[in-house]
Amino acid sequence: MIPLVKPYIAPKEEMLPAIEKILYSGYIAEGEAVYKFENELSNYLNNPNLLVVNSGTAALHIALTLLGIGKGDEVISTPMTAEPTNTTIALTGAKVVWADIDEETGLLDPESVRMKISERTKAIMLVHYAGMVCDLDKFNAISEETGIPIIEDSAHCLGGKYNGNIIGSNSRFTCFSFQAIKQMTTVDGGAIALKDEKDMEKARKLRWFGLDKKVSRLENDIKQAGFKYGMNNVNATIGSVQLRHKEVIQRYIENGKYFDEALKGASGVTLIPYYNNTEPSYWLYTMKVGDRDDFCRMMESEGIMASPLHHRSDTHSVFSESKCSLEHMDKWYKSFVHIPCGWWVDDEVREKIVDCIKKGW
Ligand SMILES: *Cc1c(COP(=O)(O)O)cnc(C)c1O
């Protein structure tokens, strides 16, 4: 079966010597390997204000904490995402306020977000779901107008672009995940990219109990309690080797562009229109199909995994207070589907996928 997701690990000859060296170096906690990976990632994402952490969830939690979000506050978000986007909001004590999605793309609808803004709104959480980039032209305008900061959950969107620039420096906070099934994995890991240099030092402290690493432990005075969210040298070493293989990230994008062209006009399929000035990372290829169950069965009988993958977040009991009607979400949820698009999909497989879809179901 061709899977929807699959971890890429760099060749043994490159990876194992690097891991062996760091494991027996005596320095396996946060150290030089972390700062090296941080630098490399910072260069790739074209943002000098970047910190690596031990998960994407940690990155989101740090962003929310930096904004001082807590009980009595509201964060506008989408149910069309993986759980951590919204469980981290719940963790702060703030209320998740659902906005509806754009039925054509599955991404947050700027007009719906605008209508949900109240005096308690402290942030807008944008998810570049499946690697499709949100309508940043409109969201940037809303953020400028209202002064409400944006947190971009870019866990699905490593390598996506806005205005020709790689995602990672548009908003005050952009969070990435290097969990097993994301475009690039460090086994587990994440990063937070910041727009404001002033947020950097605070974020650095928050990732390590609230301590300042530049000052000795005896001279340290914790003013705000932080977390234990730093990355260690082992995961960072893995990350440095993985990041040498940008062709892997590029292959998702090439496959996605191929499907965009090859599936044009295919009957029973509605392709996603991408927003102005955005370029997806195609972590998963997303489209809408009629008779989705039959579609998935047909694809599986051909040895190709096809599925909606994510469960909408607003149905969890923890968010029961946030419940509201989301008309477009309901419609989208019945018809969207993902097909494999990643580095393991070679030319032959992608042609087969297109042939199967064109034959019908
Ligand atoms: C994976 C993921 C996260 C969290 O990443 P972890 O590294 O697993 O903590 C956050 N948001 C979305 C949308 C994700 O898919």
Domain limits, the chain? 12-243, 246-359
Contact yes or no for 77/125 (Cβ under 8 A): yes
pLDDT digits (tens, 9 = 90+) for 272-299: 999 999 999 999 999 999 999 999 999 9
pLDDT category at 156 given cuts 50, 70, 90 is: very high
Distance between Cα 24 and ligand 1 center (Å):
30
268 C-alpha vs ligand 1 centroid, how far in Å?
31
* Integer Cα distance of 212 and 221 in angstroms: 8
pLDDT in tens, 85-130: 999 999 999 999 999 999 999 999 999 999 999 999 999 999 999 9
Convert the pLDDT of each residue in 27-84 to its tens digit: 999 999 999 999 999 999 999 999 999 999 999 999 999 999 999 999 999 999 999 9
- At residue 217 the predicted structure's pLDDT band, cuts being 50, 70 and 90, is confident
Nearest atom in ligand 1 to the alpha carbon of residue 85 is 11
Nearest Cα residue to atom 13 of ligand 1: 82
Is the C-beta atom of 186 inside 6 A of ligand 1?
no
Going by pLDDT thresholds of 50, 70 and 90, the confidence category of residue 21 is: very high
> What residues does 194 pair with on adjacent strands?
173
The residues, ordered by sequence, that sit 6+ positions from 169 with a Cβ below 8 Å of its Cβ are 45, 46, 47, 193, 195
* 165-204 tens-digit pLDDT: 999 999 999 999 999 999 999 999 999 999 999 999 999 9
Residues 189-218 as b or e (16 or more Cβ within 10 Å = b): bbbbbbbeeebeebbbbbbeebebeeeeee
- From 54, 179, 283, 313, the mutation candidate for ligand 1 (largest count of ligand atoms within 8 A of CB) is 179
Rounded Cα distance, 333 and 196, in Å: 36
CATH superfamily of domain region 246-359: Aspartate Aminotransferase, domain 1 (3.90.1150.10)
Q: Each residue of 26-38: pLDDT tens digit?
A: 999 999 999 999 9
Quote the percentage of the chain above a pLDDT of 70.
100
Catalytic positions: 182
Ligand 1 site, residue 128, Cβ cutoff 6 A: no
- Sorted by sequence, the CB contacts under 8 Å of residue 325 that are 6+ apart come out as none
Domains 12-243 and 246-359 share a fold: no
- Please give the model's pTM, rounded to 2 decimal places: 0.97
Would the CB of 85 count as within 6 Å of ligand 1? yes
Is ligand 1 within 6 A of the CB of residue 206? no
Q: What is the pLDDT of residues 255-274, one digit of tens each?
A: 999 999 999 999 999 999 99
For 12-243, CATH gives 3.40.640.10
| Type of residue numbered 96 | V
b/e string for 296-327 if b means 16 or more Cβ within 10 A? Answer: bebbeebebbbebbbebbbebeebeebeeebe
The answer to whether 206 touches 229, Cβ cutoff 8 Å, is: yes
